[in-house]
């Protein structure tokens, strides 16, 4: 009879954990073992939290953010400026913006960037809904906060094109020297971008 | 252990796993090559390997046949960062790198194409100049890929003056006097491609892209069983919007742009008769939305 050291339930849990970002088979085993050692404090609450999230969290119909509410909490929040929309590539970018606390307007998540390599075209992104939001009235400025990469900026220019003819100001995030960055350690491209957008 | 060091043009990177990328490059002595860059999405490495940059790379693998990995020492020309705020230049840069990435076979050295591509990428910041050079680059690219056009002698008379059209079947030029009865079938040949002193007008640029687009789409990419890269369509739309390019007029009427008659993307942009229906629909959706 074959010796069974780890049961199928645990093996399945390890397999699922190993699919998460930052986890490989070894770290998945460690994390699983940690959960199994603390069933009441960690495993059960985590399982309930995951079941809740799977059941209740959806993408917001207005901005694309993930939330249990639809429209999401950010879209429903009364203390925000409705006249400014910040356009982002991903929900992770929205969370980063919220952590920084510098923006108190509304968001719009495109769901990625145009990418020839990954086969992502304009129809795969939430651009039409952004144009509709902008043309519905009440919006004065749209901030394109997309990645400073070829794909990100190609998307940025494309979105700006689509917004042409609508009465909104379109602005972009600045490119240049990061806070704490020393000029000597920066690459030529970043220095050139910082120089061209000096003020 | 196999390894080499070379200078290369980055053709773009796609994320692999969480921190690595698979980078496509074009080197003068090894042509189109692809390998991993470990930690390629890091803030230090990512700016160096953006598409269009000229970089110094070292490739290492256990054997010549293995995928291997690149170490990117430095970028000798970071064009991508320079063109970030220039929509036209960025569109041109994306189109060049996409055509090369999708069209070039791996491992075939093409020294001449490397130098021509460097020249083209270096002038991308000059919108008065680069569209004409881009067309000449595409003609050179087609030639390197075995689809060379003969724009020097008339296919019918053998003469080398007064060339005004190109046969879409043979890729050979035709004299104006000989072309009259086939005008609806031939592709216009812009003067700047046969006479280097003739300054190209936006009509010439449109005709040039229509000419190269026909052979790229119906020959090169058709033989590879794929459509021309989306980045080329976006570049042409942007050039047209910036009035750097005007679509050729229909030869039978001489009045209206071709797309107004055909109701779909003109041939020079690469509309293929056999493009699947779902692709055609998706491109139509990409027309300007809700513009006033």
B166 three-class SS: strand
Please give, rounded to a whole number of angstroms, the shortest distance from the CA of A116 to a CA of chain B. Answer: 7
Q: Give A86-96 pLDDT, tens digit per residue.
A: 999 999 999 99
Q: Give B113-144 pLDDT, tens digit per residue.
A: 999 999 999 999 999 999 999 999 999 999 99
pLDDT-based confidence at residue B199 (cuts at 50, 70, 90): confident
Q: Given a cut of 80, is residue B257 above it in pLDDT?
A: no
Q: What integer best gives the mean pLDDT of chain A?
A: 91
Task: From residue B123, give the alpha-carbon distance in Å to each of B79, B138, B180, B244.
Answer: 10, 15, 37, 15
Strands in B68-175 per DSSP E: 69-77, 163-166, 173-175
Q: Given a cut of 60, is residue B266 above it in pLDDT?
A: no
CATH architecture of A66-196: 3-Layer(aba) Sandwich (3.40)
Tell me the two tokens of residue A5: 């050291």
Tell me the two tokens of residue A105: 């307007």
Q: Are A41 and A35 in contact (CB under 8 A)?
A: no
**pTM, whole model, 2 decimals?**
0.82
Q: Give A17-76 pLDDT, tens digit per residue.
A: 999 988 888 999 999 999 999 999 999 999 999 999 999 999 999 999 999 999 999 999
The per-residue pLDDT for A3 is: 67
Strands in A55-104 per DSSP E: 58-59, 66-67, 81-88
The per-residue pLDDT for A45 is: 95
Q: Given a cut of 80, is residue B264 above it in pLDDT?
A: no
Partner residue opposite B14 with nearest CB, options A118, A121, A127: A118
Domain positions in chain A are 8-56, 66-196
pLDDT-based confidence at residue B276 (cuts at 50, 70, 90): very low
- How large is the average pLDDT for residues B193-211? 89
Angle (CA) B245-B247-B249 rounded to 5° is 140
Q: Give B61-95 pLDDT, tens digit per residue.
A: 998 889 999 999 888 898 998 888 899 999 999 99
For residue B290, list chain A residues with Cβ-Cβ distance below 8 A: 131-132, 135, 166
B97 three-class SS: helix
> Between chain A and chain B, how many beta carbons pairs sit less than 8 Å apart?
105
Q: Given a cut of 60, is residue B4 above it in pLDDT?
A: yes
pLDDT-based confidence at residue B248 (cuts at 50, 70, 90): low
ipTM above 0.95, yes or no: no
The per-residue pLDDT for A1 is: 52
Judge: A162–B288 Cβ closer than 8 Å, yes or no: yes
3-state secondary structure A101-127: CCCCEEEEECCCCCECCCCECHHHCCH
Judge: A165–B241 Cβ closer than 8 Å, yes or no: no
Q: Report CA B66 to chain centroid distance, whole Å.
A: 29
- The CB density around residue A72, as the number of other CB atoms within 10 Å, is 22
A163 three-class SS: coil
Partner residue opposite A154 with nearest CB, options B44, B90, B289: B90
Judge: B81–A190 Cβ closer than 8 Å, yes or no: yes
Judge: B80–A175 Cβ closer than 8 Å, yes or no: no
- How large is the average pLDDT for residues B151-176? 87
Q: Report CA B124 to chain centroid distance, whole Å.
A: 13
Provide the Cα torsion B224, B226, B230, B231; round to 10°. -10
Q: Does the A8-56 domain belong in CATH 3.40.50.720? A: no
If phi > 0 it is left, if psi is from -120 to 50 it is alpha, else beta; for residue A67 that is beta
């Amino acid at each position: 009879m074959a010796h069974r050291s780890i049961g199928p339930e645990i093996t399945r849990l390890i397999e699922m954990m190993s699919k998460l970002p930052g986890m490989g088979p070894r770290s998945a085993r460690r994390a699983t073992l940690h959960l199994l050692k603390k069933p009441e404090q960690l495993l059960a609450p985590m399982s309930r939290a995951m079941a809740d999230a799977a059941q209740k969290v959806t993408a917001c119909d207005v901005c694309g953010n993930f939330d249990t509410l639809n429209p999401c909490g950010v879209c429903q929040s009364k203390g925000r400026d409705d006249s400014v929309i910040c356009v982002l590539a991903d929900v992770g970018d929205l969370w980063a913006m919220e952590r920084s606390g510098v923006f108190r307007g509304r968001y719009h998540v495109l769901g990625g960037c145009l990418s020839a390599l990954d086969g992502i075209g304009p129809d795969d992104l939430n651009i039409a809904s952004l144009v509709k939001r902008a043309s519905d009235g009440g919006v004065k400025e749209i901030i394109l906060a997309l990645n400073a990469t070829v794909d990100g900026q190609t998307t940025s220019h494309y979105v700006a094109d689509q917004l042409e003819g609508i009465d909104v100001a379109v602005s972009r995030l600045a490119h240049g020297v990061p806070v704490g960055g020393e000029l000597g350690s920066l690459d030529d491209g970043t220095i050139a971008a910082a120089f061209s957008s000096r003020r | 252990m196999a390894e080499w060091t070379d200078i290369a043009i980055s053709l773009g990177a796609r994320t692999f796993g969480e921190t690595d990328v698979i980078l496509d490059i074009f080197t003068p002595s090894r042509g189109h090559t692809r390998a991993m860059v470990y930690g390629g999405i890091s803030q230090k490495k990512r700016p160096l390997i953006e598409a269009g940059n000229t970089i110094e790379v070292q490739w290492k693998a256990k054997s010549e046949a293995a995928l291997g990995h690149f170490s990117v020492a430095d970028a000798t020309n970071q064009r991508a960062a320079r063109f970030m705020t220039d929509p036209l230049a960025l569109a041109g840069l994306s189109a060049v790198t996409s055509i090369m990435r999708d069209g070039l076979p791996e491992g075939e050295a093409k020294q001449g194409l490397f130098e021509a591509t460097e020249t083209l990428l270096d002038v991308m910041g000059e919108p008065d100049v680069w569209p004409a050079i881009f067309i000449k680059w595409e003609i050179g690219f087609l030639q390197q890929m075995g689809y060379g056009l003969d724009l020097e002698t008339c296919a019918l008379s053998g003469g080398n003056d007064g060339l005004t059209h190109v046969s879409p079947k043979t890729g050979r030029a035709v004299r104006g006097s000989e072309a009259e009865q086939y005008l609806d079938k031939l592709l216009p040949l812009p003067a700047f491609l046969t006479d280097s002193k003739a300054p190209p007008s936006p009509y010439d640029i449109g005709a040039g892209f229509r000419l190269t687009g026909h052979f790229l789409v119906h020959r090169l990419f058709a033989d590879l069983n794929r459509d021309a890269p989306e980045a080329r369509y976006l570049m042409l739309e942007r050039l047209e919007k910036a009035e750097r390019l005007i679509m050729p007029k229909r030869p039978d009427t001489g009045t209206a742009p071709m797309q107004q008659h055909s109701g779909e993307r003109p041939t020079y942009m690469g509309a293929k008769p056999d493009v699947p229906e779902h692709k055609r629909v998706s491109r139509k959706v990409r027309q300007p939305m809700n513009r006033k």
